[in-house]
Structure 1
Amino acid sequence: MRLRIITPLSVIVDEDALAVRAEDDSGSFGILPGHADFLTSLAISVVGWKQSDGSRRFCAVRRGLLSITSGKDVAVATREAIVGDDLATLDSTVLERFRADIDQERSERIESMRLQLNAIRRIVSQLGMSGSGNFA
């Protein structure tokens, strides 16, 4: 099978794999040659694969989409990916950073929404003071 892991900026992995493991919201799953066509959304997780020489490689992904086509092409499109040979390091360090980044982005979105709602309230308040209250 051909495995490709791609971010918006570069191709992180483009190599042959005997087997691939990934994780979506329903749990971990494996992919072997001849797998049915498939599309799923990945969780923040580690994608692992076995190379033709028997060695294993890993790539931490910050969510993404995984697709299988023709039973031989596995593609992962993700926002951010970091390749490594040590699963423990990827799991403890990189995934924690990805999760912290997601939490930070969520907090920033919430704060932005609060600011927007506050601005809308002020505009509506000013319109109510200066007009008769009828918008039609």
Structure 2
Amino acid sequence: MRLSIVTPLTVVVEEAGVRAVRAEDASGSFGILPGHAGFLTALGLSVVSWTASDGARHHCAVRRGVLGVEQDGMKDGGHVSVATREAIRGDDLATLHATVLARFAADREDQRRERAEATRLELAAIRQIMRHLRQGAAGAGP
């Protein structure tokens, strides 16, 4: 099998001869072996793990994305591709869980705070416009 993990800016993983791939979506953890049927799923905060042709295990943390399996008619069993906004490769799973996924979660919290602040500013602007319109209507008279 071939495995590709790409972000908008770079190809993080491009590897042929992959024996197996594991990932997790909203329904739970799943595995993909050569010859797997076509498949498409959305990934959340997840770690994609794979076994290389030499038997070594590798991992890549992804923050949201789409995983697809397509049969390309090749002897190697197909192509597994992941398109994601952010991916960080690492061979030590403990490091990925402890640091990278924690950073993703912190980034998500920062984004939530930024959205809340933007909403607060929008509401303040609307209040100011409404105050201005009310003053204009009161001064116009009959």
- State whether structure 2 residue 84 is matched by structure 1 residue 96: no
Deviation of residue 93 (structure 1)?
A: 0.8
Q: 2:86 aligns with which of 50, 58, 80?
A: 80
Alignment match, 2:74: none
**Displacement of 1:125:** 2.1
**Unaligned stretches of 5+ in structure 2?**
72-76
- Give 1:27's aligned residue: 28
Q: What is the 5 A alignment of 1:1-136?
A: 1-16=1-16, 17-70=18-71, 72-131=78-137
Runs of 5+ unmatched residues, structure 1 = none
Q: Which has the larger radius of gyration?
A: 2
After superposition, what is the alpha-carbon deviation per residue over 1:20-71, rounded to whole angstroms, capped at 9, x for unaligned?
0011111111111222222211111210000111111000111111111126
Equivalences, count = 132
Runs of 4+ residues over 6 Å off in structure 1 = none
Deviations 1:73-130 (A, max 9, x none): 1111111111111111111111101111011111101110111122112112211221
* Distance across 1 between alignment mates of 2:61 and 2:111: 19
Instruction: For 2:81, give the aligned amino acid.
Output: A
Single out whichever of 119-128 and 88-97 deviates more from structure 2: 119-128
Matched residue SS, 1:54: coil
TM-score normalised over the length of structure 1: 0.91
Q: Identity over the aligned pairs, expressed in percent?
A: 61
